[in-house]
Chain A
Amino acid sequence: MNYSSYIALIPLLPLAAFVLLGLFGRKYFNQSAGIIATMLLLVAAGLSLYTAYQYFFVNGKVGDAYQSITAVKYTWLTFSENVSIDMGILLDPISVMMLVVVTFVSLMVHIFSLGYMKGEERFATYYAFLGLFTFSMLGLVVSSNLFQIYMFWELVGASSYLLIGYYFQKPSAVAASKKAFIVTRFADLGFLIGILILAFYGESLDFNTIIHNLTTQQSSQFLAITSASFLGVSALTWGLVMVFMGGAGKSAMFPLHIWLPDAMEGPTPVSALIHAATMVVAGVFLVARLFPVFSINSDALTVVTIIGVTSALFAAIIACTQTDIKRVLAYSTMSQIGYMMFALGVSGYGGENARLTDSVGQGLGYTASMFHLFTHAFFKSLLFLGAGAVIHLVHSNEMKDMGGLRKLMPITHISFLIACLAIAGIWPFAGFFSKEEILLAAYNKSMVVYVIALLTSGLTAFYMFRLYFSIFWNKEAAVHDHHHGEGTLSMKLPLILLAVCSVAAGFIHFGNYVSSDGTALASEFHLSFAAAPLALGIGGILLAMWLYKTANDKPERLATALGGLYKAAYKKFYIDELYLFITKKLVFNLIGRPAAWIDKNIIDGLMNGIAAATGWISNLIKTLQSGKVQNYLLYFFGGIAALVIIFIYIWKP
């Protein structure tokens, strides 16, 4: 079966939805926009499932390794014989997996939004933006070269900006969208530099060519990039770290995470789609895409590991203290993405089977990271959609306004519980399996990372169940708002489907399909190894239950006892304040003001001076243009007389 006949439709269908609804939506389709977009996406999701089936089970495998297939290749701009910018579709295990994840989660969000966004004034615009986002994300995951991925990367950022700022009447939403855009844009500067370094030395933009050029030890490109150095660090490391900086910005890694919690100003389904399941994993995807190059450079991998593990722990601590449920989920997302990042960081390249005793050269971390990405997409979007349903009922984001909702919304309650169990890593839910693999990979590589990861996993269980008990138990329901109950069928259906996925996704033998070099990777399951995280997880749940199941003053007393630590975590460790200090006080005063002064006085002054001088001279000489013929005659004869004098008496050749 030839992929090229239909695969381009997968990203193009959401684009069609965007164009159709963006141009004509408000006028003609304001009621039917949701249905139209959802139907188009349903087709796209079906096609990507079919692609996945074709790829994984029918013809993706040659020998015992999955090949990377360029399904579509279109040369867009040709600069010279060797340098061109292409648009292409690259199929390999991770891009096919991402196709399924993105279309599926997007479809769930489309369906959920049918109920959640009903009656919004800009309903069609909302769906148009969703279509744009889905198109960009799909284009990103199937990109066949660095330039294409950069273009879609920016498109994703732009559509995220549009969706965060959807409620543009709210100043906080406007500020949040601006913040998200600026922070990620800043990180993308690094990404661009990284692309230029890699493309310059790799002598290509195409992923496969770059990877081939830069990983072959004898190639001239490899020698050039490893021998060139800047500030004592090789160009290869610089390039990779810069690319990772872009990824860290998009994936909200410490210290570029500050935009993600604020991004929760957007509509909740958007948070589920963009800021939990798909866009924020773009950074992980990018590192995974270039993983063969990363894997030969241990310095870059160390950076990835440190950033990942820091973010994981840091965000988990903050999440324990936040009271806005969407912010808790945002920090939890950051923490889980930190997990995926350091899983990549501790991974090696290759398909050796994972065993407890192996300490080097295995690609378990890579598989684990992708596995976690896959399962996380399901349960995190489920959590966000559940939170959306809760907010829809309560009309508040604050935990203190909730409590006792389990009777009012049984389906949301059960699905939320499943998602919490999954993210906490309790057997047999999906998160358990992927987290096990990550922990195993960390254990094989570094004890420090393993211990921090274990700690984080306990914290994860604690804060998720803090959230769960605060929403659904704690006190009697304060809301007696029965007139719209739990929401429409369109809001319940995605919850149920995602809950099923959150249970089932863990049982996929992921290593068989996705691994760093395409060959199957069998991971063993060790009960003894699983005991520690499982025990910590259950411990976290019990602690949360003891503190939050019924309304009491234990949490306050605990917070008081922890004192400064609690306050610091509640204030998000003052990172926002630090940024504000750096930008407002340092950048504005030391760079901005002098620059403004130079602009106002010197640059503008120069221009104004030239203009004033011109005006002054014109004033002086304008009387020459008197309009009197005889004056002109006088100048004319005067000129001739002068020329005569010059030629006869002065200028003698």
Chain B
Amino acid sequence: MSDIPISHILFVSTALFFIGMYGLFTRRNMITMLMAIELILNSVNINFVVFNKYLYPDKLDGIFFTIFIVTIAAAEAAVAIAIIINLYRSHKSIDVEDATDMKY
């Protein structure tokens, strides 16, 4: 286990983060954007776990953080989907390009 170097895992999390970023910027569908955000959050989770494991193996703080983030992400997804449903009801669309009412 410990023969996998830390840089490999960090490479995975970075890749995950930027895939999420890419998705967030290019997708117009809000559900997809929400999924992209989940990817970003999970890349952060991986970082927490990895650094905890490699730098302070006798402590559990990073893992606790991860659990918190997973919990909060679940709640946040619920709120986000509620917003999207409401938006769909009023705009008949979940395309972000159609929801530009809050401009100057």
Contacts and interface: CB of A to CB of B under 8 A. Distances in A.
Interface in B63-104: 96-97, 99-104
A633 B101 contact: no
B24 A623 contact: no
B63 to A, nearest CB: 26
Contacts of A625: 103-104
B104 A628 contact: no
Given A628-B96, A628-B97, A633 B24 contact: yes
B25 A628 contact: no
A626 B25 contact: no
A-side interface size class? 10 to 19
A577 to B, nearest CB: 62
A622 B97 contact: no
Contacts of A628: 96-97, 100, 103
B100 to A, nearest CB: 4
A629 B99 CA distance: 8
A574 interface: no
Contacts of B44: none
Contacts of B25: 630, 633-634
Interface string A621-653: 011011111100110010000000000000000
B10 interface: no
Interface on chain B toward A: helix, strand, loop, or mixed SS? loop
Contacts of A633: 24-25
A626 B97 CA distance: 11
A626 B96 contact: no
Contact of B103 (A627, A630, A634, A637): A627
B21 A627 contact: no
B97 A627 contact: no
Contact of A622 (B21, B24, B99, B104): B104
Contact of B96 (A622, A623, A629): A629
A628 B96 CA distance: 7
Contacts, number: 26
Nearest to A634: B25
A630 B21 CA distance: 11
Contacts of A623: 104
Contacts of A626: 100, 103-104
B-side interface size class? 10 to 19
Contacts of A630: 24-25, 96
Contacts of B100: 626-628
A634 B26 CA distance: 11
A28 to B, nearest CB: 59
A627 B100 CA distance: 4
B24 A627 contact: no
A628 B30 CA distance: 12
A128 to B, nearest CB: 57
Nearest to A621: B104
Interface string B8-41: 0000000000000100110000000000000000
A627 B21 CA distance: 20
Interface in A598-627: 622-623, 625-627
B21 A637 contact: yes
- In this complex, the member of A625, A628, A634 whose beta carbon has the largest number of chain B beta carbons within 10 angstroms is A628
A305 B4 CA distance: 115
A634 B97 CA distance: 15
- In this complex, the member of B21, B97, B101, B102 whose beta carbon has the largest number of chain A beta carbons within 10 angstroms is B102
Interface string A315-343: 00000000000000000000000000000
A614 to B, nearest CB: 15
A617 to B, nearest CB: 13
A627 B25 CA distance: 15
B101 to A, nearest CB: 6
Nearest to A623: B104
B73 to A, nearest CB: 18
B87 to A, nearest CB: 11
Nearest to A629: B96
B78 to A, nearest CB: 19
A427 to B, nearest CB: 93
Contacts of A622: 104
A124 to B, nearest CB: 59
Contacts of B102: 627
- In this complex, the member of B21, B99, B103 whose beta carbon has the largest number of chain A beta carbons within 10 angstroms is B103
Contacts of A634: 25
A532 B95 CA distance: 112
Contacts of B103: 625-628
Contacts of B24: 630, 633
Contacts of B104: 622-623, 625-627
A625 B104 CA distance: 6
Given A626-B103, A627-B103, A628-B96, 8 more contacts: A625-B103, A626-B104, A627-B101, A628-B103, A629-B96, A630-B96, A633-B24, A637-B21
11 contacts: A622-B104, A626-B103, A626-B104, A627-B100, A627-B101, A628-B97, A629-B96, A630-B24, A630-B96, A633-B24, A637-B21
Interface of B: 21, 24-25, 96-97, 99-104
Of all A-B residue pairs in the complex, the 4 with the closest CB atoms, nearest first, are A627-B103, A627-B100, A625-B104, A622-B104
